[in-house]
Chain A
């Protein structure tokens, strides 16, 4: 079957009912979407399908004939980070990084739908994504900053916008 990923067309040969996640990771060597639960419960596998965020672990690859898949590599490269990638970097929105790919693509979909820096709306858009490291505050900071069109100094990280600090570090 034909599958276009990050602008490159592929001829995929896989098990007939393989998931998009398995096709990306095992057949095409694109490992940024992760196998966090393989049941759609964690969001680590989310990719964009024709610009909309979708769980790769729940998607039969066969159903995507002729559609465009975007993974996080398709947002930007180290020399040319997208605004969202810059936002995540500057706002320290990733710790272990395992949820980051899915989280960013869900955020990208939200921003493309006209999402604003309203924190509740961002939470709602990212509701399907689990992060066990960050406590989510800085992720929301990053998405809000990207929504506002902030510019980012990548040599430093920003203090958290969403938390009260009683003093100390």
Chain B
């Protein structure tokens, strides 16, 4: 293996510096039409009287699509992971977030497409929106989904992702101090330099070629095929260099609409989102609300952790239950805590649906757990490196979801950080390794966990 460890140049490096790299918007197919979307101006409303005929009648407009044109309107992208469909490709009867696409126009040029969008008629009856995930369970909260504001399809039709391990009540009884914290990271936009863009080309043999900026080509191919109700071999999806994705180009947010417009018009159709659309309507990393309460001893052991997480999924589920599940597995961070009580909810609000972004579900909990470790050290008056090293994952410890650690790196990373920050660790801590716990590093509360991880 000659490549491992070598400093190889990018295979596309020379293309990048000579302007030859081809992104979707650089693909040139004669006769390509421009697409523009009619988007909901309101956060939450019922919709009626949608009339696209004024747009269709406009010179230079080749096709307009609405919910009625989609063979399978709702398709759950992660139905294979048990997350049922809940989101229409184009809005039908109601809108649940500002920017939700209602109709898409394909026209000779960008300006005609914009004018055609303006000509579409539709009526809205505004409803009060929900934005604060903490209010999701209030009796008087607006209902984003018919039953309410939480995802109800975790295994066993549970309303939450739940983890119970050991005995949390005992841990809280035995604790010297309870350390509490609330952590609320805000939504983050991916802001790739290349905005969302697709180009769909109808081929003479009845197939469709779709040039896509997707990060997940085969996945998007399945989504397009499902909405269009065509077999996979009717599609040729061409991926290529993505101008930045960071998780924001896994939603297959434009390809299916272009494919439908290409079918309906018989012409190639390109939809390139503007930067304003990208900021207003593209999915973001979710905002989160996390509450942690740790039962700790005076000398810095974390006996148990109670945690509540609310994950803001926006108006539809997309991949949020999956993200929350990953989040739950990591809620002890790089540390071993034997007694756990975790409840995590996927909450619906009238925001743009949220999605993956680098470290989906886990960046939030990493931020919360790391900040909380420092808080524990502060409250106890202990050194933050020492508290971390003491509770660090070691070989043979178990994770919240019963994975036995065989190769944990917490100890070496914390020690490298101390070195980099020129902090001298006390000898006892400098000598710590990730070897299986014994002696002082195996207090009573961890003994049972080490002996039989399956018991928890």
Contact = CB atoms under 8 A, between A and B. Distances in A.
Nearest to B420: A166
Given A81-B14, A97-B243, A166-B417, A156 B26 contact: no
Contacts of B195: 35-36
Contact of B274 (A30, A38, A78, A94): A38
Contacts of A55: none
Interface in B1-26: 6-10, 12-23, 25-26
Contacts of A98: 23, 192-194, 243-244
Give the one of B16, B192, B242 with max A CB within 10 A.
B16
Contacts of B193: 34, 36, 42, 44, 96, 98-99, 130-132
A50 B270 CA distance: 33
A98 B240 CA distance: 13
Contacts of A97: 12, 15-16, 21, 241, 243
Contact of B17 (A38, A88, A158): A88
Given A38-B275, A89-B13, A92-B10, A71 B416 contact: no
Nearest to A104: B17
Contacts of B18: 72-73, 75-78, 81, 85
Interface in B273-315: 274-275
Contacts of A25: 25-26
Contact of B275 (A36, A76, A94, A99): A36
Interface string A82-106: 0001001110101011111100100
Nearest to B22: A31
B250 to A, nearest CB: 15
Give the one of B6, B14, B19 with max A CB within 10 A.
B19
- A interface, size bucket: 35 or more
Give the one of B18, B25, B241, B420 with max A CB within 10 A.
B18
A84 B431 CA distance: 48
A96 B241 CA distance: 7
B17 A41 contact: no
Contact of A78 (B14, B25, B241): B14
Contacts of B275: 36-39, 41-42
A89 B14 contact: yes
Contacts of A121: none
Nearest to A158: B7
Interface string B246-278: 100000000000000000000000001011000
B419 A166 contact: yes
- B interface, size bucket: 35 or more
Contact of B9 (A39, A78, A100, A157): A157
Given A31-B26, A92-B10, A166-B416, A36 B16 contact: no
A67 interface: no
Nearest to A80: B18
Contacts of A36: 193-195, 275
B25 A72 contact: no
Contact of B19 (A71, A92, A133, A154): A71
A43 to B, nearest CB: 9
Nearest to A77: B18
B19 A101 contact: yes
A94 B7 contact: no
Contact of A29 (B6, B25, B28): B28
Nearest to A41: B275
B191 interface: yes
Contacts of A164: 420
Given A34-B23, A94-B10, A167 B17 contact: no
8 contacts: A34-B25, A36-B195, A73-B18, A96-B192, A97-B241, A157-B7, A164-B420, A167-B416
Pick the 6 closest A-B CB pairs, nearest first. Answer: A32-B19, A98-B243, A97-B16, A37-B275, A31-B26, A98-B193
Given A81-B18, A132-B246, 14 more contacts: A34-B194, A38-B275, A42-B193, A73-B18, A78-B18, A85-B14, A89-B13, A98-B193, A130-B191, A131-B193, A132-B191, A132-B193, A132-B244, A158-B7
